[in-house]
């Protein structure tokens, strides 16, 4: 209700509601559909006078055109396209009993037609109307005749019934307060959904209607833009380390190798802390309430990093720099669960995977953007100061001038990361809390539907009443649910219902993935230089071209490297005479060609194939492929390292990065946002992401330890072979502990009607978040095997089935020759699998599907 005038019925209901102390103004407002301020004013009036009086209507439009009235008007207008606003005003007054102003009618009818009203022009409609009147069939006369022939009592009853049906979802929670309702007939009973405020929760109708409204939509640019902008910012700031560490080392600690390790470790530790903390807070207090705080942390820490200095000689640059990188890591880590969960809950079922993978595409884009900005700033400094001609890093003549220029370079690169963060914060002012969270956790269906329709618009309607997946209204069953994050709820969900399997699966796959992924993506300057090298290391001696200074009164710094070794910024041992300018240019070229382009291509390909492949099975397959690729790459490296065939290793590494983003790297981000219930979705995603960052910490330590303690010139081959082991472990955990997020269905046939799927075309259908959120129990009922024990039993059953099928085939061949062989049996057919009482004798429920074209699953 937009006006201040309350109807008699609303005032009567409001009087009763105000007598219930436990109801707040906000709760009453969404029940009655009025503003909070109106309820507050009427509460003050009721406490002072004991009644709610009928106020004078001071609004321009006291009566609102409800959806059912607008639908009726649109249908009538299609039959009378030459009707003017006066005719529409008369129609609403006579047919709906509403006194509505012409501006309101114009505004509503324009909205109904999508802004294309008045297509034929006013003059054309006036001419058509005059022709009608000349023929004796004016619209006004027709309306009066219809109104006189109709039964006004029936119309009033029909309008009241329609209004009651339209508002029943808002009034249902007050049934107990306003009196015992009549028991409605229900077709079937549905379980209550997993919520967390300890109150009575609707089991079916609201949840189904909200899912129906969400699934009416496809890929949404607004939701993607909000989530992707923040993820781009975080990827840029995290991987900017690859750009700035050489320049920071050149200025502040040219001979201390451990400083870069400390900076990376504290950044990753901050990410772990942010993922755990914000994952929990987003489930406890709401998604959008925190969505933006993490960007504030990123902006503040970006400014802190960019302005870090030694002070007046009494401040440790490394300590201050590391602190701000830790704070930045907290903001970076917080973005993972928030962006993933918000994107997942706002997406329709069919577009969920493509939306999430489109957001994750911003990770390789952010990596490439950091490299591009770095080299762009460096080229600008060279154009302004002649950086290349100063021989920075090789000669001491212009050493202070070089350090001053390079010191400004990395500060500009880091400071630029605050720009997309500011834009992302602006976008997030226009996003509401997810309807699923508001409904299932906060138990506020009115707010859930209102916010959903603010983003996607109202659903289509018939005769003024919104369509629903069930075709009509029902009063849902209710069930008391335990409090969110209570010991009972956590124990029941994770331990009793065995959903810890899912959490182990998502956490361990992300952990093993990041061990290998960050081992080749974070601070990999020396690794890439070694892979690209086509010659052996060049010794530091007088044969070098840079051994002597080329400047008058200059002094070469290269001679000092003969005793102390190469400085930390000089990562290519085959080109020791490269200046800092040439080194950074070379690093950028190697990173973009080896890592960034392949990663972007992999992520883009996954977006296209997201709904065309079985994602859980492809996650396992991609781990297996990466295991093989790392073994192959290690072997190729040992064969062609530091020779003319070195580019073969570079190609293999690029293929690895392509497979990373085409498979495991993207899927470990997507699957945790799908398989957990709304109550704990953000927390579980945060835990899984934090496990991944712990894996990246292990990777950084392993790579640093091998590079520091193993002096072989081909030690990178050992890293390839070692990381292949982690990929194999990731394949095992993804195979054993993760459920299928899709099911095979058949167009034009029943997916469960025999081996041929009813003769239809097979396709993959994504399960809804509500189905997946029911966890291990639902997966077991559908015949999925979760856990090593059940998977092993299922595998044995499949092998026995294959052996039995072979025996049947040979038996049929022998029968053709006159020999009879009894068929084998005892096989239970399940969805895409076969089992015989897997998992402690629990039979697997089943939908047989065609696997090999033989009609036997």
**Do 678 and 794 fall within a single domain?**
no
Q: Which residues contact 322 (CB under 8 A, 6 or more apart)?
A: 262, 263, 266
The burial class, CB within 10 Å (0-12 / 13-18 / 19+), for 19 is exposed
Same domain, 261 and 399: yes
DSSP secondary structure letters along 564-578: H---TT---TT-TT-
Q: Give me the phi and psi of 742, to 5 degrees please.
A: -135, 160
Residue whose C-alpha is closest to residue 519's, from 570, 606, 595, 593: 595
Measured distance CA(632)–CA(784) in Å, rounded: 34
**Which sign does the torsion angle of CA 394, 306, 386, 573 carry?**
positive
582: left (phi over 0), alpha (psi -120 to 50) or beta: alpha
Please give the pLDDT value at position 66: 73
One domain for residues 672 and 821: no
The SS3 assignment for 542 reads coil
R_g of the chain, CA atoms, integer Å = 34
Whose CA is closest to 334, among 274, 276, 283, 281?
A: 274
Would residue 832 be called left, alpha or beta, if left means φ above 0 and alpha means ψ between -120 and 50 degrees? left
Question: HSE (CB half, 13 Å, CA atoms) of 489?
Answer: 15
Question: Which helix (H) or strand (E) covers residue 216, if one does?
Answer: none
CA distance 316 to 302: 18
CA distances from 504 to 22, 41, 732 (A): 41, 53, 12
Main-chain phi, psi angles of 786, to 5 degrees: -120, 130
Q: CA geometry: angle at 109 spanning 104 and 111, to 5°?
A: 100
Give the residue ranges of DSSP H helices in 216-292.
221-239, 241-251, 258-285, 287-290
Compute φ and ψ for 454, nearest 5 degrees. Answer: -65, -35
- Residue range of the domain that includes 856: 782-857
139-149 helix and 85-95 helix, angle to the nearest 10 degrees: 0
For residue 689, the surrounding DSSP H or E stretch is helix 681-709
Distance, CA of 694 to CA of 701 (rounded, Å): 11
Same domain, 615 and 733: yes
408 and 515 in one domain?
yes
Alpha-carbon gap, residue 699 to 270, rounded angstroms: 16
Specify the DSSP element, H or E, that contains 477.
Answer: none
Nearest to 592 by CA among 275, 274, 373: 373
What gap in Å lies between CA 419 and CA 414, rounded to an integer?
Answer: 10
Q: Are residues 637 and 531 in the same domain?
A: yes
Residues 812 and 669 in one domain: no
| 190 in any annotated domain | no
Cβ neighbours for 369, distance < 8 A, ≥ 6 positions apart:
232, 236
Distances in Å between the alpha carbon of 197 and those of 108, 171, 480, 678?
38, 20, 9, 13
Return the sign of the alpha-carbon dihedral for residues 390, 391, 396, 402: positive
The predicted pLDDT at position 549 comes to 83
The answer as to whether 225 is a domain residue is: yes
Q: 231: helix, coil or strand?
A: helix
Q: Give how far the C-alpha of residue 705 lies from the chain's centroid of Cα atoms, to the nearest Å.
A: 35
Distance CA 594, CA 850 (A): 41
Among residues 574, 498, 437, the alpha carbon closest in space to that of 777 is found at 498
Same-domain status, 329 and 230: yes
Q: How far is C-alpha 14 from the geometric centre of its chain's CA atoms?
A: 41
Compute the distance between CA of residue 486 and CA of residue 7 in angstroms, rounded to an integer.
43
From 737, 772, 798, give the residue that closes a domain.
737
Measure the CA angle with vertex 651, ends 645 and 653; round to 5°.
Answer: 115
Q: Is residue 270 part of a domain?
A: yes
User: How far does Cα 518 stand from its chain's mean position?
Assistant: 21
In a domain, 463, yes or no: no
Question: HSE-up of 590 (CA within 13 Å, CB side)?
Answer: 27
Say how many C-beta atoms besides its own lie within 10 A of residue 474's C-beta: 17
Spatial separation of the C-alpha atoms in residues 93 and 73, rounded to whole Å = 11
194 closest CA partner among 674, 670, 775, 683 = 775
Number of domains into which the chain is organized: 3
Q: Cα 102–106–108 angle (5° rounding)?
A: 115
Q: Count other C-beta atoms under 10 Å from residue 131's C-beta.
A: 11
Which bin fits 401, alpha (ψ -120 to 50), beta or left (φ > 0)?
A: alpha
Assess whether 646 and 789 both reside in one domain.
no
Pair 672, 797 in one domain: no
DSSP secondary structure string, 447-464?
A: HHHHHHHHHH-PPPEETT
Work out the number of other CB atoms within 10 angstroms of the CB of residue 336: 29
Q: What is the pLDDT of residue 696?
A: 93
Q: Does residue 362 sit within a domain?
A: yes
CB 667 within 8 A of CB 673: no
Does an H or E element contain 468, and which? none
Domain end marker among 675, 702, 737: 737
Between CA 270 and CA 334 the distance in angstroms is 10
Q: What is the rounded distance in angstroms from the CA atom of residue 851 to the CA atom of residue 761?
A: 13
Handedness of CA 119, 120, 121, 125 (dihedral sign): negative
- Residue 435: which of 446, 444, 450, 448 has the closest Cα? 448
- Answer whether residue 102 is part of any domain: no
Instruction: Please indicate, yes or no, if residue 418 is contained in any of the structural domains.
Output: yes
Answer yes or no: is 718 within a domain.
yes
State the CATH number of the domain containing residue 304: 1.20.1250.20
Q: Do residue 674 and residue 589 come from a single domain?
A: yes
Instruction: Among 715, 737, 759, give the residue marking a domain's end.
Output: 737
- Determine if the pTM surpasses 0.75: no
Q: Compute mean pLDDT per 10 residues along the chain, 857 residues long, and list them.
A: 63 83 79 78 79 60 65 79 78 79 77 59 63 68 65 45 45 47 42 45 68 86 88 89 88 86 92 94 87 87 89 78 93 92 92 94 93 92 87 86 90 90 80 86 86 82 51 42 80 91 95 89 77 86 84 83 83 86 90 93 94 93 95 92 90 94 94 93 95 93 86 85 93 93 75 47 88 90 87 85 83 67 43 38 38 37
Contact present, 482 and 198 (Cβ < 8 Å)? yes
Q: Is 522 left (phi over 0), alpha (psi -120 to 50) or beta?
A: beta
Residues 338/276, Cβ–Cβ less than 8 Å: no
Backbone angles phi and psi of 79, in degrees to 5: -80, -15
Q: Are residues 703 and 801 in the same domain?
A: no
């Amino acid at each position: 209700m937009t006006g201040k005038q309350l109807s008699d019925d609303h005032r009567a209901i409001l009087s009763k509601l105000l007598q219930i102390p436990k109801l707040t103004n906000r709760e009453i407002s969404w029940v009655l559909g009025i503003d909070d301020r109106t309820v507050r004013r009427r509460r003050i009036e009721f406490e002072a006078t004991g009644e709610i009086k009928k106020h004078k209507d001071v609004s321009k439009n006291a009566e609102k055109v409800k959806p059912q009235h607008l639908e009726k008007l649109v249908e009538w207008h299609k039959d009378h396209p030459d009707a003017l606003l006066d005719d529409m005003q008369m129609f609403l007054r006579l047919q709906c009993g509403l006194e509505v102003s012409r501006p309101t009618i114009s505004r509503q009818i324009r909205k109904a037609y999508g802004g294309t009203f008045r297509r034929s022009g006013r003059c054309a409609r006036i001419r058509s109307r005059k022709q009608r009147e000349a023929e004796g069939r004016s619209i006004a006369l027709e309306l009066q005749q219809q109104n006189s022939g109709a039964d006004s009592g029936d119309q009033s009853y029909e309008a009241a019934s329609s209004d009651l049906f339209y508002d029943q979802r808002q009034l249902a929670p007050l049934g107990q307060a306003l009196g015992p309702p009549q028991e409605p007939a229900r077709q079937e009973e549905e379980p209550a959904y997993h919520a967390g405020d300890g109150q009575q929760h609707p089991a079916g109708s609201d949840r189904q209607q909200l899912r129906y409204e969400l699934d009416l939509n496809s890929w949404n640019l607004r939701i993607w833009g909000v989530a992707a902008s923040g993820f781009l910012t975080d990827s840029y700031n995290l991987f900017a380390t690859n750009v700035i560490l050489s320049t920071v080392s050149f200025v502040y600690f040219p001979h201390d190798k451990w400083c870069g390790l400390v900076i990376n470790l504290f950044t990753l530790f901050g990410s772990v802390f942010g993922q755990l903390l914000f994952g929990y807070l987003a489930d406890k207090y709401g998604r959008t309430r925190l969505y933006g705080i993490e960007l504030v942390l990123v902006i503040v820490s970006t400014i802190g990093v960019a302005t870090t200095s030694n002070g007046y000689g009494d401040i440790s640059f490394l300590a201050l720099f590391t602190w701000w990188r830790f704070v930045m890591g907290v903001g970076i880590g917080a973005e993972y669960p928030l962006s993933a969960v918000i994107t997942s809950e706002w997406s329709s079922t069919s577009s969920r995977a493509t939306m999430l993978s489109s957001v994750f595409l911003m990770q390789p884009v952010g990596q490439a953007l950091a490299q591009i900005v770095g080299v762009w700033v460096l080229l600008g400094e060279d154009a302004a100061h002649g950086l290349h001609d100063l021989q920075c890093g090789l000669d001491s003549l212009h050493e202070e001038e070089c350090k001053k220029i390079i010191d400004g370079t990395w500060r500009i690169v880091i400071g630029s990361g605050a720009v997309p963060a500011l834009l992302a914060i602006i976008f997030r002012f226009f996003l509401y809390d997810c309807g699923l969270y508001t409904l299932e956790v906060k138990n506020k269906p009115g707010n859930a539907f209102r916010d959903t329709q603010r983003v996607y618009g109202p659903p289509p309607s018939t005769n003024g009443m919104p369509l629903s997946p069930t075709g009509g209204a029902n009063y849902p069953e209710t069930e008391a649910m335990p409090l969110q994050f209570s010991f009972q709820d956590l124990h029941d969900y994770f331990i009793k219902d065995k959903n810890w399997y899912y959490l182990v699966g998502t956490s361990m796959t992300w952990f093993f993935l990041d061990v290998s992924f960050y081992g080749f993506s974070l601070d990999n300057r020396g690794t890439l230089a070694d892979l690209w090298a086509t010659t052996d290391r060049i010794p530091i001696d007088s044969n070098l071209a840079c051994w002597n200074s080329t400047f008058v009164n200059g002094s070469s710094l290269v001679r000092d490297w003969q005793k102390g070794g190469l400085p930390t910024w000089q990562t290519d041992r085959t080109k020791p005479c490269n200046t800092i300018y040439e080194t950074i240019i070379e690093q950028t070229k190697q990173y973009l060609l080896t890592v960034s382009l392949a990663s972007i291509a992999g992520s883009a390909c996954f977006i296209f194939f997201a709904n065309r492949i079985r994602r859980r099975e492809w996650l396992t397959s991609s781990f297996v492929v990466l295991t093989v690729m790392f073994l192959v790459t290690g072997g190729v490296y040992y064969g062609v390292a530091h020779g003319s065939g070195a580019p073969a290793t570079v190609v293999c590494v690029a293929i690895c990065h392509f497979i990373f983003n085409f498979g495991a790297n993207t899927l470990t981000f997507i699957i945790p946002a799908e398989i957990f219930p709304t109550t704990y979705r953000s927390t579980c995603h945060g835990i899984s992401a934090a496990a991944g960052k712990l894996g990246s910490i292990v990777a950084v330590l392993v790579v640093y330890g091998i590079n520091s303690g193993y002096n072989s010139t081909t030690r990178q081959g050992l890293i390839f072979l070692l990381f292949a082991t982690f990929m194999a472990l990731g394949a095992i955990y993804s195979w054993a502990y993760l459920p299928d997020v899709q099911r095979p269905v058949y167009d034009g046939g029943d997916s469960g009607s025999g081996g041929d799927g009813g003769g239809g075309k097979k396709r993959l259908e994504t399960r809804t978040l509500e189905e997946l959120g029911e966890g291990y129990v639902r997966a077991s009922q559908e015949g999925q095997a979760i856990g090593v024990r059940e998977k092993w039993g299922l595998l044995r059953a499949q092998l026995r089935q294959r052996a039995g099928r072979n025996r049947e085939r040979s038996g049929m061949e022998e029968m053709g020759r006159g020999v009879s062989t009894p068929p084998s049996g005892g096989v239970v057919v399940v969805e895409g699998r076969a089992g015989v009482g897997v998992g402690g004798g629990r039979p697997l429920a089943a939908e047989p599907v065609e696997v090999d074209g033989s009609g036997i699953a």
